[in-house]
Structure 1
C-alpha cells in the first residue's frame, strides 16, 4: 500500500511524556527482565494454554469464546494498522528506550517481521490480554481465574515500561478487548444453544 500517513505526532501532542515518566520512575534491571519475559513469553503462552485448558476441561463455551475473541481483536485492529499508523513510543520519543532489547538483543530482528513499527494503535497486547482475562474469569479453576487477569494487568504495565505503546494505544486496546470478549461470549453461547438444539432434534428422530 502506498499510504504514508503518520499520526504519531498527534498522539504525542495529547500525551506528552507519560510513557517516559513511567519508564524512568520504575526502571531497574530486575523489572526489565521480568517485564520482557511477560511480554515475549507469558503473553503467547497464556493464549495457547487457554485453548488447551478449556479443551481439556471440555468447556467448549470458553474454548469457542477465546477463539472468537482472538479473531475479533485482529479483525478490528488490522484496519487501524493500515489506515491509522502510529509509531512505537521508543522510536519517536527521544527520552524513551526500548528496554526489551536489554534482555533480548535480537528482538527487533526477530519480532519486527511479525509486527510493523507503526502497528501500534490499538495495542493488541492490551486488547487480547483484556479479552483473555474476562473469559478466564468465567472458568471454574480458581487459579486460572486469577492468574490470567493478574498476568494481563502486568503485561499492560509492561507495554509502557518497556517503551512500546502510548496511553492512547492502551485505552483503545482495553475498549477493544472488552468488546471482543463480550461479543465472543455471546457468539459462543449462541453456538452452544444451536448445538444443543441439533442434539435434541437428533434424539427426537431416534426416538421416533
Structure 2
C-alpha cells in the first residue's frame, strides 16, 4: 500500500508534465476536498469497503443455498483455459501477471479518482468514483447468486499460478474468497475508466 501512495504524486507529475499549472499541491488537498465536495468520494470508498466486508461474511452461506455455476462457464470455455496456461507458462510472465493482479488493480482503484482530484478535474473525479460504484454494484449480485470458482479449483490439471510465492499466497488468501471468478473486477474497472 505504501508503494501505491508513494507513486501517486510522481505518476501524476509524469502525466501532467505538459500542464504543470493543473497540479494541486498536497498542502491544498484538504481545502480542495472541502471546496469541491469530495467528501462523498471518500464516503463512497468507505461504504464500498464495508459492503465488501459484509458480503464476504455472508458469501459462504449464500453459496450453500444458491450453488455454483462454475460448470456452466467451464462448459462454455472447455479446456481452453488449461491449454492457454500450458501454452504460455513462463515464470517471468507469471510474476508479471501476479504483480498486475495484485498491485495494478489496487492502484487503479486508488489512483483513478485521486489523479483527477490532484489535477483539479472535478467532473472526471466524479465519473471515476461513480464508475467504481456502478461496476461494483453490478458485480456483487453476480458473485452472490451466480457463484463461479477460480479455474484452479475446478479444472483438473490446472495450476494456481498466482499462488506460487508465499507472499502472494498470504496476501490473496487473506483478501480474496477465491469464489468470485465472474465477472472480473480486474477487467471491469479499467474498461469502465477507458469508456469514460
Same fold judged by TM-score > 0.5?
Answer: yes
Total equivalences in the alignment: 134
Q: Deviations over 1:161-202 (max 9, x none)?
A: xxxxxxxxxxxxxxxxxxxxxxxxxxxxxxxxxxxxxxxxxx
Of the structure 1 ranges 121-130 and 61-70, higher mean CA displacement relative to structure 2 is found in: 121-130
| Residue 119 of structure 1 pairs with residue 191 of structure 2 | no
Any stretches of 5+ residues in structure 2 without a counterpart? 1-60
Q: 1:106 Cα shift?
A: 4.3
**Could you say which residue in structure 2 is the equivalent of 1:93?**
155
After TM superposition, where is structure 1 displaced by more than 6 Å over at least 4 residues in a row?
Answer: none
Any stretches of 5+ residues in structure 1 without a counterpart? 136-208
TM-score (norm 1): 0.60
Q: 1:4 Cα shift?
A: 4.4
Q: 1:95 Cα shift?
A: 2.2
Q: Within 1, Cα distance between the matches of 2:185 and 2:92?
A: 25
TM-score (norm 2): 0.63
Q: Within 2, Cα distance between the matches of 1:110 and 1:38?
A: 14
Q: Within 2, Cα distance between the matches of 1:52 and 1:78?
A: 24
Q: Deviations over 1:140-164 (max 9, x none)?
A: xxxxxxxxxxxxxxxxxxxxxxxxx
Q: Is the 8 A contact 1:47 1:132 kept in 2?
A: no
The RMSD of aligned alpha carbons is: 1.7
